[in-house]
């Protein structure tokens, strides 16, 4: 029997093909792991931004459906109190856990935002606009809500910042 008629692979050919296969698999595994990490970061980022946007929407809807009595909702600051549609006093503020908290009629507040969100600034600016100086005078309040903060991604060491702002106007207009 001659060597030309034998079929199969030599040991060297098998070792070389295994080495090439191993290198390709290491590259594929590394890419797959970094894609999973990036996916987790995107999910966290989306969740954090959606949470703050939902809270801002809830706050502005509460203000729109509520009312600012003539001696209420003046000026601005880091907390805001108004009367909601159920005629209860609602206060929004940043609580000690750096979350946006809501209190109804002075009862213990509860957090609306959640980790990994950290609220660094919550600002309300309330302005009253009047129709003029002659009676009857119509007065309406405009409230600008600003939220600043950050959130941490699972595989990062630096926090990402966000900034939201909206204006809400209580639907009730006072005429006097």
- 31-48 pLDDT, tens digit per residue, is 999 899 888 888 888 999
HSE-up (13 A, CA, CB side) for residue 104:
11
Q: Which residue has the tokens 């309406």?
A: 140
Name the most confidently modeled range: 44-48, 121-125, 127-131.
Answer: 121-125
Cα–Cα distance between 102 and 63 in angstroms, integer? 13
Contacting residues for 32 by C-beta, under 8 A, at least 6 apart: none
Cis peptide bond upstream of 136, omega within 30: yes
Residue 153 phi, psi (nearest 5): -90, 150
Dmax over CA atoms of the chain, in Å, equals 119
What local confidence, expressed as pLDDT, does residue 111 receive? 92
Summary mean pLDDT of the chain:
87
What local confidence, expressed as pLDDT, does residue 3 receive? 57
| Averaged pLDDT, 46-70 | 90
Cα–Cα distance between 122 and 147 in angstroms, integer? 5
Written as six digits, the tokens of 78 are 């880091």
What local confidence, expressed as pLDDT, does residue 4 receive? 66
Cα–Cα distance between 83 and 96 in angstroms, integer? 24
pTM across the whole model: 0.78
């Amino acid at each position: 029997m001659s060597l030309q008629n034998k079929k199969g692979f030599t040991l060297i050919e098998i070792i070389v093909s295994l080495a090439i296969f191993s290198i390709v698999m290491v590259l594929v595994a590394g890419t797959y792991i970094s894609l999973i990490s990036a996916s987790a970061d995107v999910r966290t980022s989306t969740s954090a931004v959606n949470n703050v946007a939902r809270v801002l929407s809830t706050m502005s809807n509460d203000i729109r459906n509520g009312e600012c009595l003539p001696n209420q909702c003046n000026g601005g600051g880091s907390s805001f109190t108004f009367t909601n549609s159920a005629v209860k006093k609602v206060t929004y503020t940043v609580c000690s856990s750096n979350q946006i908290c809501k209190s109804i009629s002075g009862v213990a507040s509860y957090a609306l935002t959640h980790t990994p969100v950290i609220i660094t600034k919550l600002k309300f600016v309330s302005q009253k606009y009047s129709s003029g100086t002659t009676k009857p005078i119509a007065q309406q309040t405009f409230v600008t809500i600003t939220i600043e903060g950050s959130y941490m991604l699972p595989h990062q060491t630096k926090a990402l910042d966000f900034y939201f702002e909206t204006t809400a106007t209580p639907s009730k207009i006072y005429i006097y």
